[in-house]
Chains A and B, each alone.
Chain A
Amino acid sequence: MADHLLSWMTFAPVIGAAVIAGLPGRYKDLTKWIAAAATAVPLLLAVQLFLQFDRTTADMQFTEHYTWIKSFNIEYFMGVDGLSVPMVLLTALLSFLCIIASWRIEKAVKGYFSLFLLLEAGMMGVFCALDFFLFYVFWEVMLLPMYFLIGIWGGPRKEYAAIKFFLYTLAGSVLMLLAMIAFYYNVKDPVTGGHTFNMLHMMDQANHGGILDLANVRFVIWMGLFIGFAIKVPVFPFHTWLPDAHVEAPTAVSVILAGVLLKMGTYGLLRISYPMLPDQAVGFMVPMAILGAVNILYGAFCAMAQTDMKKLVAYSSVSHMGYVLLGMSAMNEVGINGAVLQMFNHGTITAMMFLCVGVIYDRAHHRDINGFGGLGLQMPLYTTVFSFALFAAVGLPGLSGFVSEAMVFIGAFPTHRTITVVSALGIVVGAAYVLWMLQRVFLGEKNAKYDSLPEISARELFTLVPIGIIVLVLGVYPMPVLDLMKVSLNHLIKVVAG
């Protein structure tokens, strides 16, 4: 397994999905255990990856390189660097916990778990692929399971949410497809002289030629890629699929959506757009910062207006992804490290929040913020856990969200003074909507209707506590993750901003 670590991480879930698909539908428990095993494999390998990853180099590691389609120079090329490893870790962790969190799924168990495993494979593949074609395939493969997971196991407006998600994402990715083909024909493989999909070759400006020498073409390609990734992040004004999808999706799928899928957008920008079109990235700094600020403030204000807990968390994601954009636009080491750390932290914190919302929804069968009250008396342990997650989201010092947000602001301030100052207001609004929700749900008069709500169960705690520990540890000592990415990101920023 050590030789093909990344392939095993990516395809172990596929094997699991195939086994489950072949299993008769009546073995529901066995199905769940197989799914848990199939996600435990990548998790264990992720631990190995974490331990063995060389933190002193910006080169790709654990690479696997094979010819796939010779006549079109398509390769199976996998590898990770400091940018991808945190995302791989996040994916492995959240996928495993989400399988546990889905234990009470009763409808079409076989379908649910095999689709979930396919989803994990797609996400892993995206973060490991170094061949653009391969990257695109993984990027799209994820859409199918996601569509069905929302559409079959989702809430009342699931059909609308599922197709909206699908159409938005596909519209973005076909633009990426064209950009990819444009790269293919205008980038030369330095060894063979032929066209190539190798991302590392595409990142080397010396290999660019043809229409890639024209500034306006580069701008068009940049915009195509940017829109494709922006839809995924989602950047205002492409964000409208997100509240629908997050709200209608079942809990575990919301966790994956917010925890991992959104990161694919910013990951794409950093893995593809930035190094392949550095001149355009620098030219787009200010618009990117403005979009980041809009995301932060618009998302926060929208969150404040919500009465559905899940929708509130969904809009908080829009807001928090804005910090990532702002950090990326800073074009300095602190900013970009903060941005990627924020990607990781948002993944963990928002996962906690969605899992907590799921806990209460399973019991009360609604998520109306105004429909509760005084839950703190009824479910003290649950209240503690949820408050912990909410405070982490606010950016309370000592918890991980604070570190990355602070880094983003420190990085962005010298580059975009006014925009950063305005964005900082987002913290205040963020505190407002979170505390207001906390107050309405957990404090105040106890609602007699919920006298018999059971406390959070051991299984639910099992999904929340590991993430909570990570949030706490990274809040006090963020170096385990920062060390992973520092060298690669500093190299990236040197390439882009000189």
Chain B
Amino acid sequence: MSMLAYDGTAMLGRQLLRLRNNPGLLILTQTMPISMLLFFGYVFGSALAVPGEEYRSFLVPGLLVATASGGIMAGMFQAAQDTHRGVTNRFRTLPMSRAAVPLGQAAADLVATALGTVPFLLVGLAVGWRVEGSLLEAVGALALLMLFRFACTWAGIHLGLLTRNEEAAGQLGGATFLLPLLSSAYIPTSGLPGWLRTVAEWNPISALATALRDLFGNAPVPDGAAWPVAHPVAGSILWCVVLLGVFVPLAVRQYAHGEQ
């Protein structure tokens, strides 16, 4: 265990150095959600029946979760890139903990996400979003968001180690942009036709988005929703536990076994 802690810290250090050597990358990853907030919030928002400010308050937690789900893409791309460039295999020949490389990557991603969330929330505040609940609940919302990002990154790392090819990972990763579209990230699911609503509400992103809206006090939990959305905090935690329970062992196994 101390071996994992030591090697994991070394790998976290590696990823943070990369971040420090390329600070532009961090800024770049945040331009997308901020632009989406402005486009969706003002362009779509003006066409909706709800007042613009109310929609933007609804959108900020949704975009936070949608961006967190991008951990799948980020994790996948980086793991595939390292594998493609031979870096992963080089680490595999070192006398180090088998879980350290993916853990270091996921932990560093968390640091980057936490840093990147700050400017996004500042823009959110500027367009009218507010923390309308207690501070404790708001902290809980952010903790849930980080937990979800962590789980998504592990899923991505597993897929990246599996594909081994950065171009394929980029293509596949692009498809993850679709995931938030079939959820309550951008729109309330209550208006969807029956079966589509069920699918969208069983999308983990919906549970997380509803939980954040509830904890920030931006929007109430919708009536008559599927279980994970009707009990958003418990549903979110459960989703994260399930994702981590599946993808952490898979990613570590995939790392340890390589191409065997």
Same complex origin of A and B: no
Residues of A within 8 A of B (CB): none
